A and B are shown apart, each in its own frame.
Chain A
């Protein structure tokens, strides 16, 4: 609090309290010999005149305005101090002397503000709590932007990079060299091939009219197996190369993208190990489902996908609440439906879990109508369907807003969305 200096006479006067108690006489207070009468100073900043008491400026003697440094800017003819600086930002500088708190004007550019503070000899660390967060955020964004510019301008790789570091750079940023770009497109191509293969495998291929239609996968087993092997080999090689190049292998193995890579190629190897054993073939079929995870490998190739993932993660609480409220409503309505339909003998709602299906279908507005309530419990039916719409709409809106915000920030370079790797 800067104005406390004005209370010094009061503090000294209050010393009378311990005077009778003291054993020795009081020391003499330091007498200010050069005590001037308080006078007004005129500060001319680019034509805009500010006036303040001299004592106000003297509160902070280690700044430009508080020390004798300002005498360099004194204009003899007009008896004022002239500064050729921005008058808008000077307002916050002068307010610092008046109130003791330095505020950061949000409409000003952060680097311009830093320059002004440096000129007037004020350290930015004393910015008040109200504006400190904003100031730090803007400063960080600016630093990141500068660093991005620096990296973009870097055409040549820095010398003395080991083979490992070169590889990692190539993986992370495909635009660094042609090899990296080729690798990027090749992997993308093979991911697409793999996904299309999985889909085509199940399409019934036309055969002669005598036999029943079989899926292509069973007809051209060898061809599809070769395709699958090729894709898995590429993915395995890519994974091993990334693992080799990663600066911190442990962190790389823990990252989301690497887990997706492993899950994508594991079913194939498990399938190789397990032969046509009848017992485990059921499990084996389930494992093949995991091959669909290969589609998530595309997120290394698409920033939009990464943003979506990031959004869902940041909306986790809202999504969680949506899920919770839906579950609550489902249980409530299913219970009511079950007990309402209990009387009717031909009712399909044989138990509460059985009525879950009906409730879920109604609440998510699918309305398949496979099980219809026999009883005229239309009130509950309509209440159930009406009540589900609102939370879904609200939460979808929230997610939409979040996606927009994050996408805009990401595109403008403010947010670094990188794949979850080291």
Chain B
């Protein structure tokens, strides 16, 4: 009995050693990125120096290496929405922030996007939103893309919404959206249709104003 136990215990000790080695390899390949100078960023965006400093400190705290990868992004975003599953929506957000499709967001990308969302013109904000919805970046929003987005938003809200959502409410939601946005009824929404329809809608315009004083 002791023989069997002895052999097996020696085996398990080996496995742990192998796992540590793999982790070490991963560590070495992480990249550290430093952003452009403060002055350049100030010129590129609509923030002043002080705001950029505050933003960068928060950014660096969560991502000491200077870049955010998708998992960290999802983790951070999920902290704000504990009731539901924020990962699908965070995934689309990540793709919208990561304009170069490099798989990671640098501080410049982050601050550029924030500058548009918080300090940009109405047209710029709507354009950014259109890019968010257009998952495959072909210039059109079709029903599948919209369904994915709406379902992601529903997942993020979780089960505890008021009023409570039914199982297929997102389909109706997508239908309503297309009825409003798709002017020529060709089944897809282009950028111009989107901007035009949003400008006609008072609620949307009012909501856009709220983003002015977030920071």
Please list the residues of chain A having a beta carbon within 8 angstroms of any beta carbon in chain B. Answer: 1-14, 16-26, 28-29, 31, 37-38, 316-324, 327
Contact = CB atoms under 8 A, between A and B. Distances in A.
A116 to B, nearest CB: 24
Secondary structure dominating the interface of A: helix
B15 interface: no
A321 B10 contact: yes
B61 A6 contact: yes
A356 B89 CA distance: 71
Given A6-B57, A23-B176, 11 more contacts: A11-B77, A12-B214, A25-B206, A26-B210, A317-B5, A318-B6, A320-B3, A320-B6, A321-B10, A323-B6, A324-B6
Contacts of B201: 20
B123 interface: no
Nearest to A317: B9
Interface of B: 1-7, 9-10, 50, 54-55, 57-59, 61-62, 75-77, 79-80, 89, 92-93, 110, 113-114, 117-118, 125, 128-129, 132, 149-150, 153, 173, 176-177, 181, 194, 198, 201, 203-204, 206-208, 210-211, 213-215
Nearest to B81: A11
Contacts of A316: 2, 5-6
Contacts of A8: 80
| Closest 10 pairs (CB-CB, A-B) | A6-B58, A320-B6, A320-B2, A3-B61, A321-B6, A324-B3, A317-B9, A13-B117, A26-B207, A25-B203
Nearest to A320: B6
Contact of B203 (A9, A13, A24): A24
A8 B210 CA distance: 15
A31 B3 contact: no
Contact of B129 (A4, A10, A19): A19
A327 B6 CA distance: 13
A109 B62 CA distance: 31
B214 A29 contact: yes
B6 A20 contact: no
A20 B177 contact: yes
26 contacts: A1-B75, A2-B61, A4-B62, A6-B54, A6-B59, A9-B55, A9-B214, A14-B117, A16-B117, A16-B128, A17-B89, A17-B92, A17-B129, A17-B132, A17-B149, A19-B129, A20-B181, A22-B203, A26-B206, A28-B210, A316-B2, A318-B6, A320-B7, A321-B3, A321-B9, A322-B6
